Chain A
Amino acid sequence: MSEPVSPTRRNAPRLALHVPEPSYRPGDTPDFSAVRVPAAGSAPRPDSSAPASESHPLVNHLVRVLDEDGRAVGPWDPRLSPDILRKMLSDMVTVRVFDDRMYRAQRQGKTSFYMKCTGEEAIAVAAANALDRDDMCFPTYRQQGLLVARGYPLVDMMCQIYSNAGDKLHGRQLPIMYSDKPHGFFSISGNLGTQYPQAVGWAMASAIKGDSRIAMGWIGEGATAEGDFHSALTFAAVYQAPVILAVVNNQWAISSFSGIAGAEQATFAARAVGYGVAGLRVDGNDALAVYAAVQWASERARANAGPTLIEFFTYRAEGHSTSDDPTGYRPAGEAQQWPLGDPVERLKAHLVGLGEWDDERHAALVADADKNVRAAQKQAEAMGILPGQGFDRIGSMFEDVYSDTPWHLAEQRDAALGEARIYLGRDAS
C-alpha cells in the first residue's frame, strides 16, 4: 500500500473525513435529550405578508401550539372549531387504521409493497385541512393523509395498492404511488425530489394565468440532497412562486439518519435563508402547529408575498417500507422515546381538554374507522389482489405511452398477445 502523505507536504496535518453517525444504534438505549424542544407557544408569529427575513429566526426554533397538557397556546394557535378538530382526528385515525390493514395485506401476500406513515399522520392531514380544496398537492410517498382528508374513496386507494381491475392506474404504478387530479393529488414518483420543481412550475403557471390556486410540495429530509430540491428553491425564490415547500424531517431515509442529509450542520428549514424565502420549523406531531404553519404560508402565497419552506420535525415510527427492517440500524423502542409524542394522542388529548371529546367517543371513532376500512378492503379485494393480476387486458399495457399507438407499439402489442395466447392457452385482450 502506498504512503498516503505526499513527500512534498510532510508537515501538513493529515486530513480526516467526517462521516456522520447517529447517537445510537441497535442495542443502545435511545436518548433524545439532545433534541431541543422549545415550549409550546414560545415561537413568535410574524405577519404572513411580512418580508421573508422576519420568519428566519424561526428556522432554528420550533413552532408548537399544543403543550404537554394538550392545551393550545401562543400566537400560532389557529383557533379551530371543534368540528374541524374532530375531522382532523378522524382523518388521522382513518389513515392509521388504513395503514395497519394494508401493511397486513402485504404481509398476507395480497400485494407487493406498502409504506406506512405512522407518527406522521398530522403532516398530510392538517395540511390538507388548511389548504383550499382546489389547491394542488405534489406529494411524496407518505402523504396518504391528503387523499383521506380530501375524501378520496378508500376503495380506490386499495385498488391501486392491489393493482386490480379497479385500479385507475391500470396496474402500472407501484402500490401507494397514487394519482388523482380531481382530488388535487399529483402522480407520485419513485425518483425522489422530482415533485419539488414540478410543484413550483404548477404554482408559476397559476400565477401566469392570474389564477388564485396555489401548490404545495412535499419531500423527505433525505431527498433534500437531490438537485431538484435546490432547483425548486431557486425557481420558487426567483419567480416568487405561490408555493409551499414542505420538508418532512422524519429522521430516517431508509437506514441513513438525517445527519447524512446534512442535519448536523443546519436545520432543513434553514435552507430557506440562503434562498431568501420564508422558512418555518414546525413540530410535525402537533396537528395544530402543522395547520397553522400551512395556513400562514398559504396566506402568504395567495397574497403574492412569496413561497415558504416548512420543515416538519417528526419521527418515522416504523420501517421505511414493508421491504425494510429498521431493527438492523436503530434501537428498538426509539419511536416511543420521541419527545414530541404521538400526533393522534396529542390531538385527542386537546379535544378531550376542550370537553369536545372523550375516551368513549374515541373508541367509537376507531371502531368506525376499522369498520369502514374493512368494508372497503372487502370491496377492493372483490376486484382482485395482486397475485394473478395482469392478464385480464394485456393490450392496455401498450396504451398511453403516446396519445396514439404508433406502429412499433402496435406490433409489440400483437406479439405480446401472441405470447399470452401460449401462456394462457386462450386468446387475451
Chain B
Amino acid sequence: MPNKNMIEAINDAHRVTMAADPDVVVFGEDVGYFGGVFRATAGLQEQFGKTRCFDAPISEGGIIGAAVGMAAYGLRPVVEIQFADYIYPGYDQIVSEVARMRYRTAGEWTMPMVIRSPYGGGIFGGQTHSQSPEALFTHVAGLKVVIPSTPYDAKGLLIAAIEDPDPVLFFEPKRIYNGPFDGHHDRPVTPWARHPDSEVPDGHYTVPLGKARIVRPGNDLTVIAYGTMVHVALAAVEENGIDAEVIDLRTLVPLDIATIEESVKKTGRALVVQEATKTSGFGSELATLIQERCFYHLEAPVGRVTGWDTPYPHAYEWIYFPGPIRMKQALEKVMAD
C-alpha cells in the first residue's frame, strides 16, 4: 500500500471522484494550471481538462455563489478557499444560501458541494493565515463540518464528502500536511512516510462522515480532539504517562456522540482540545454535551485546552498555540480533581 502525505491523499481523492463522476468540477484561486498553492489539485487540470478544474478570480463570494448555481444545475462542485481566513467574503453565500437551500426549498434544490480550505496555525502564518473558524460553521444548521487528521482519513473523508448529498466544509489542518505534529515546535517533524496512517489505498474507499475514531484506547481519561490537535494530544498523553483514551472526532457535524458518551462513561473524566480561540469554540459544545449526558459519571469537571481569545499573533505563535505545556497542565488538573 503506498504511503502518501496528506496533500497527496487529498489530491488522490479528487482524482478518484473526478474520474468516477463527470459532474464533479474543481475550481478556486490558483487551483488550475498551477495546482493550488499547497499543490492539492496538482495535475487535475492536465488530466481532466480545464472545464473540470480551473482557476477562479480572487472572489470567495463569487466562488461560493457560482458553486451554488452549479449545484443547482446538477453538478458537484468542489471548491478550494485558499486559506480558511479568506472564507469570510463567501460567508453569506455559505450560511444563507448553501446551508439552507435544501430546507427552504423543501428538498427541491440541494447543494451537494464541498468547500475545502486549509486552516489552523503553527506555520508562522500570522493572524490572516492561521485561524480555525470551524465553530462559525458548526453553529449553522444545514452544514456538515469535517476535519481529518491523517492521510488515510483525508482521502476517505474527502471522497465521502464529495459523494455526500449535503454541503460539507472540509477543513484541512495545514500544519500536518507533511507530517504529524506533536506540538514541540523545536523538534523536527516526522514525515508521514514513516507513519502507518499514511498508508493510503489506491482507488475508491470512504471513511464515513459522522463516525469518530478511537486513536488510543485508555481507561482513566477521555481526550477529545480533531485536526492537528489529535497529534498534540496524543503526544501529551504519552509524555505524561496517562492511561487516556484519545478520540479523533473526524466530523464535527454530524457528531459521533455515541463514541464520546461511551468513552466518558467508562473513564469518568474528559478533556476537550481545540486549536481555535476559547470562547464559544466547538470545545464549548463538546463540554456541554458531556455535562448533559455524562454528569453522573464524571469524577472531575470537563477540562478544556484551546488557543487564547486573541487574533493569532505572528511573533508569539508558540505562546498562542495550545502545545505541550498547556496540555500537561490541563491533563494534570483533570486527573487531580
Contacts and interface: CB of A to CB of B under 8 A. Distances in A.
Contacts of B109: 179, 181, 186-187
Interface string A404-418: 001110000000000
Interface stretch (B69-77, B122-130, B194-202, B265-273): B69-77
B68 interface: yes
Given A194-B92, A234-B59, A402 B105 contact: no
A169 interface: yes
> Among the interface residues B56, B65, B70, B109, which one has the most CB atoms of the partner chain A within 10 A?
B65
Nearest to B75: A205
A408 B254 contact: yes
A401 B99 CA distance: 8
A201 B92 CA distance: 16
Interface string B54-87: 0011010110111111101111010000000000
Nearest to B66: A201
Contact of A197 (B68, B141, B142, B144): B68
A198 B65 contact: yes
Question: Which of A169, A238, A400 gathers most chain B CB within 10 Å?
Answer: A400
A101 interface: no
A202 B144 CA distance: 23
A378 B266 CA distance: 62
Which of A136, A202, A205: most chain B CB closer than 10 A? A205
Contacts of A196: 65
Contacts of A198: 65-66, 68-69, 72, 97
Contact of B103 (A206, A207, A209, A401): A401
B110 interface: yes
Contacts of A231: 57, 59, 61-62, 65
Contacts of A401: 102-103, 141-142
Contact of B96 (A138, A181, A191, A200): A191
A204 B72 CA distance: 11
Interface in A166-210: 168-170, 172-173, 177, 179-181, 186-187, 189, 191, 194, 196-209
Interface residues of A, number: 46
Contacts of A181: 105, 108-109
Interface string B89-126: 10011001100011111111110000000000000000
24 contacts: A169-B105, A172-B106, A177-B104, A179-B108, A179-B109, A197-B61, A197-B69, A199-B69, A201-B66, A201-B72, A202-B69, A202-B72, A204-B69, A205-B69, A205-B74, A207-B51, A209-B75, A228-B62, A235-B65, A402-B102, A406-B254, A408-B254, A408-B255, A408-B257
Interface string A33-66: 0000000000000000000000000000000000
Contacts of B142: 401-402
Give 9 nearest A-B pairs by CB, closest first: A201-B69, A197-B65, A231-B62, A201-B66, A205-B73, A202-B69, A406-B254, A198-B69, A403-B165
Given A208-B70, A401-B102, 16 more contacts: A136-B73, A169-B105, A187-B109, A189-B96, A197-B69, A198-B72, A201-B73, A204-B69, A205-B69, A205-B70, A207-B51, A209-B73, A231-B59, A234-B62, A235-B66, A403-B102
Given A197-B93, A234-B59, A206 B73 contact: yes
Interface of A: 136, 138, 168-170, 172-173, 177, 179-181, 186-187, 189, 191, 194, 196-209, 215, 227-228, 231-232, 234-235, 238, 399-403, 406-408
Given A186-B72, A196-B65, A205-B69, A235 B59 contact: yes
B313 interface: no
Nearest to A213: B73
B210 interface: yes
A215 B69 contact: yes
B161 interface: no
A403 B61 contact: no
Contact of A400 (B56, B107, B253): B107
A138 B68 CA distance: 11
B166 interface: yes
A202 B68 CA distance: 8
B106 A200 contact: no
B106 to A, nearest CB: 5
B62 A197 contact: yes
Given A169-B104, A181-B108, A189-B97, A235 B62 contact: yes
A227 B93 CA distance: 11
B25 interface: yes
A178 to B, nearest CB: 10
Contacts of B51: 207-208
B193 to A, nearest CB: 37
Contacts of A169: 104-106
A204 B62 contact: no
Contacts of B89: 227
Contacts of B103: 172, 400-401
A179 B105 contact: yes
Contacts of A136: 72-73
Given A194-B96, A202-B70, A204-B66, A172 B104 contact: yes
Nearest to B54: A239
Contacts of A238: 57
Nearest to B109: A187
B324 to A, nearest CB: 33
B69 A208 contact: no
Contacts of B257: 407-408
B67 A201 contact: yes
A232 B62 contact: yes
A262 to B, nearest CB: 19
B67 A406 contact: no
A226 to B, nearest CB: 9
Interface in B108-166: 108-110, 141-142, 144, 164-166
A412 to B, nearest CB: 10
Nearest to B254: A406
A227 B70 CA distance: 19
A184 B217 CA distance: 54
B105 A194 contact: no
Nearest to A207: B51
A233 to B, nearest CB: 9
A85 B61 CA distance: 40
A234 to B, nearest CB: 5
A207 to B, nearest CB: 8
Contact of B65 (A194, A205, A208, A406): A194
